[in-house]
Structure 1
Amino acid sequence: MPSRGTNTVRLTAFSRRSATVVGAALALVTGLATAPAAPASPPAPQNLRWAPCDDAAQPGAECATLMVPVDWADPGGPRLGLAVARRKATDPGARVGSMVFGPGGPGDSGVRMVVDRVSRFSPEVRRRFDIVSFDPRGVGGSNPVTCSAELLAQRPSPQLENRADFDATTAYNRRLRADCRARTGPVFDHLDTAQTVRDVDALRAALGERKLTFHGSSYGTLLGAQYAETYPSRVRAMVLESVMDHSVASTRDFLRAEAASAEDSFQEFVTWCERTADCALHGRDVRAVWRGLLDRARQGELEDPAEPGRPLSSPDLVNKVAFRKFYEADYAGLAATVARMHASEPLPAAPTSTAPLPPATPVFCSDWRLPVRDFTTYASLLATMDEAAPDLPSLLPVHMVAACLGAPTANPQHRLDARGVAPVLVSNALHDPATGYPWAVSVARQLGRSGVLLTYEGHGHGSVTNGPCMRDAVDGYLTGLTLPPRGTRCPAQRP
């Protein structure tokens, strides 16, 4: 049985705000089995026993447990319970069926989305569908990954300066993986998205749906795309929003793409401040102010706005302050925060540390093979990122790569092959800091005639309810299978 000591950290849901470039912070995996081949027939349906959710902030949410194999290659072996939640369609007479939401992160809780944030979905979707989601294996109420809090706090600095740092991080990763596996139990070795695809098909069957209606957001788009590839004949409708491109093969290409997307959002922020009188930095050299904050952060002289008196590191300035605001397209909020920090008195110079990464994404290491041969290669990758994102040093994707050093990959990158799947609506903002628009274009192309790209000409991570154009296009497709014309572009809403 997994250890449940008090000095542990468990993989629970964290919001989109705390999600990172792919929606998440990192921990590590090891010893993962090869993804099993798709079964010829769907799993035998289960009877889900629905009951009111205990901690629902709003009434009406129901919760249940779906039992699935720990390893789908061994369906008769050990099982685990997946936490599931739903809210029934508000207009039963107009109900189309169930829509399954694929949460992002990785590490986000679909249960919490249904229980606490169902307003994320449009009124029409809530009227016509039972909204259903789940905590993916290893998350929240689904056998969460559990690791030693003490060991997590010992994580080496993600800013690797030399070969010794590189070797120390690789050795630390090995110790952490062993600890997390021992505390979590057998599911730790079976957390990749290919396993979760099977879980979603079991959920579809348990809901009594012949075909799946699915909405995946951020990392949930990888789940949706791989479901479409594995079970193309079982898809009724699928929305992929803020799209991961799992065909990006190399470490350098992955990091360059992520850095370019984040830098694009920074440039959009600068441009917005230059033309907007309400920007707290309007009329000033925004980049110069920002560089000053980075310098103060490197010296330990910049106060953390969330924890007065504590110095803020430069990686946390980039990832916790700027990047979170880019996610929400909250340029006004970012400008106000930067202005306050710029005007604050410097702290006495002191060492800083980056907050330890929670054990939130063993999934990422099992889904992405991003090898780094040695420190020389690592330094070259840093230079690539600095060239692509000169205003945003120490972006989290490179920390993610460092956290996966030495970890095996069960479900590595490949081009989609979803021939025969029903039309899939691929939605992305032009200026998404985490899943850049080129990834959505690529995924739509990989889907061939089935891929229909819907472009939101605005900012932020997530787009399907940004204005009536986006909302109506998505609602019409989900409810009536009416696709927007190919090439549809929806105007930006004010950031």
Structure 2
Amino acid sequence: MKRLLAIGATAVVTLTALTALTAPATAATTWGPCAAGSDPRQECATIEVPLDYAAPAKGSISLAVSRIRTARPQLRRGVLLLVPGGPGSPGLSRPSTYVSRLPKDVLDRYDLVGFDPRGVGASTPVSCGLDQEDLAFTRLKPYPAADGGIAENAAWSRRIAEACARNGGPLLRHISTRNEARDMDTIRKALGERRLSYWGVSYGTYAGAVYATMFPERTDRVVLDSNDDPDPARVARAWLANYSVGVEDRFPDFAAWAAGHDAEYGLGADAAEVRRTFLDLAGRLDREPLPWPGANPPRLTGNALRESMLNALYSDSGFPGLAALMKAALAGTPLPAAATPPAAVMQNSAASSAATLCNDVEWPASIARHERLVARDRAAYPLTAGMPVNIGPCASWPYRPAERPVRVTSRGPANVLLVQNLRDPSTPYSGALKMREAFGARARMVAVDSGGHGSYLANGNACGDAAVTEFLVTGVLPGQDKLC
């Protein structure tokens, strides 16, 4: 689930400087084979961290960590920690994923290190034991009813919060972004690194920004890709609300593509007609859902179409699937097969995501307030139909945040590079500018004239990719913000 829930370095780095940044890995970290399907070079280990950093005597939990070591140890600078998004997404397999994508100059200088955050995957996991119907994507993102009503959302929110309080166990209240940053620092220590370089994507940008704020002297080269708004008064409330803006920024890319393929899909001869077709179809499906075998629930509703659209906007590669779904729904022909993750994965992701979102900051509980917000948002941003500002489990969460949200500031070394697509459906450019403002002189931003979620080596372009690679290899930030 996504969202519920002068510049210090020089272009030439000597071997002495490389050695000064690192130390031998600690003996306590024992590496062994990873699960089947990993790159054969990837090793895995388990690291113990405190359940509660404020009270270590409460016991510990485990973090699953992986690495692929550089093939050029004589050029090694340190590790590049790959910080996953979500919150609630696993990251253990990321070294295997990125070892074939990252440029050789980067692979020569870093061990790639991945991890499953606390509560996730192969780390000590958390689950709220939710009913299957409450794991539907159109519930995990709180889409209102067809008429805009939110009574069902409010009831769902209470059920989720009660189930998490009943089944989540002690780990649930100790999942937060501050604790993820502390876990990252524990990983750094276990690897024997004096400073940490990392590449955070999506929610990983906020976790990375929190780490750079809590432990600025322990950061080396920081890349934050597809940036969350770090507003400490709202935190995840702002991230969810930004879906409204992000989808409006991005949908024209799909509409233009579909218009260019009108002979194949019949969605409209120009972008404006494609938009009308989508909104009309979503409204029709609100009233008359279609059977959709394999989906949860097995119906294509207007909200299921809206969620399918949001997912398709993450990458241009999703456009044909969305167009085919719309074409079939319009024609009344069998719909393409729905892809539903395994229930155990959904349980874990839902619980860990909700815990992070709700434990980081307090959320308003007023149903009347949310009704007003939803009504305004539906009118201003019809593509998302009020979902981004609707009520969710955090309104009924059983625990208050143990700590205040981190305020990201400019205090610390100038070693942060932000990379950001201009048309990101999930973390829009407008929110990324607030991250840029918060870091001030510590950062530079490379804005990329591309659409989709994820920029470096994903939906970016050669200019943007080259800027990130240059920074990782040399440590030199651009002299000023740039547009690629």
**1:260 is aligned with what amino acid?**
V
Higher mean C-alpha displacement, 229-238 vs 72-81: 72-81
Q: Deviations over 1:353-388 (max 9, x none)?
A: xx9874341212112433132x22111111232133
User: Out of 201, 206, 210, which is 1:222 matched to?
Assistant: 206
**2:396 is aligned with what amino acid?**
G
Question: What secondary structure is seen at the aligned counterpart in 2 of 1:72?
Answer: coil
The match for 1:129 is 110
The match for 2:269 is 283
Question: What secondary structure is seen at the aligned counterpart in 1 of 2:87?
Answer: coil
User: How far apart, in 2, do the equivalents of 1:154 and 1:427 lie?
Assistant: 32
Deviation of 1:279 after TM superposition, in Å, equals 7.1
Q: Deviations over 1:22-44 (max 9, x none)?
A: 3xx53xxxxxxxxxxxxxxxxx9
Conserved? CA contact 2:158–2:393, under 8 Å: no
Q: Does 1:326 align with 2:313?
A: yes
Q: Does 1:49 align with 2:42?
A: no
User: Out of 391, 395, 419, which is 1:405 matched to?
Assistant: 395
Higher helix proportion (structure 1 or 2): 2
Conserved? CA contact 1:302–1:346, under 8 Å: no
Deviation of 1:97 after TM superposition, in Å, equals 1.6
User: Out of 67, 78, 88, which is 1:97 matched to?
Assistant: 78
User: How far apart, in 2, do the equivalents of 1:108 and 1:462 lie?
Assistant: 14
User: How far apart, in 2, do the equivalents of 1:256 and 1:48 lie?
Assistant: 41
The match for 1:467 is 461
Conserved? CA contact 2:213–2:412, under 8 Å: no
Percent of aligned pairs sharing the same letter:
32
Conserved? CA contact 2:133–2:297, under 8 Å: no
The match for 1:359 is 351
CA 1:103–1:46: 2 relative to 1, 3 Å: farther
Deviation of 1:411 after TM superposition, in Å, equals 4.9
Q: Does 1:312 align with 2:300?
A: yes
Q: Deviations over 1:292-337 (max 9, x none)?
A: 3213321343343865994212222111x11111111333443333
Question: What secondary structure is seen at the aligned counterpart in 2 of 1:457?
Answer: strand
The match for 1:63 is 44
> What stretches of structure 1 of length at least 5 have no aligned partner?
1-18, 27-43, 348-354, 491-495
Question: What secondary structure is seen at the aligned counterpart in 1 of 2:28?
Answer: coil
User: How far apart, in 2, do the equivalents of 1:163 and 1:294 lie?
Assistant: 18
Conserved? CA contact 2:48–2:62, under 8 Å: yes
Q: Does 1:442 align with 2:434?
A: yes
User: How far apart, in 1, do the equivalents of 2:306 and 2:363 lie?
Assistant: 22
Alignment coverage as a number of residue pairs: 438
Deviation of 1:418 after TM superposition, in Å, equals 4.4
> What stretches of structure 2 of length at least 5 have no aligned partner?
6-24, 336-342
Higher mean C-alpha displacement, 109-118 vs 459-468: 109-118
Q: Deviations over 1:397-422 (max 9, x none)?
A: 345x4122122334554531240233
Report matched runs for 1:115-264 at 5 Å: 115-116=96-97, 118-150=99-131, 153=134, 158=142, 159=144, 165=152, 168-181=155-168, 185-247=169-231, 249-250=233-234, 256-264=241-249
Q: Deviations over 1:111-136 (max 9, x none)?
A: 02224554453443223211001111
**1:200 is aligned with what amino acid?**
M
User: How far apart, in 1, do the equivalents of 2:359 and 2:333 lie?
Assistant: 44
The match for 1:388 is 380
Report matched runs for 1:101-112 at 5 Å: 101-112=82-93
Conserved? CA contact 1:65–1:82, under 8 Å: yes
**2:197 is aligned with what amino acid?**
T
User: How far apart, in 2, do the equivalents of 1:162 and 1:76 lie?
Assistant: 47
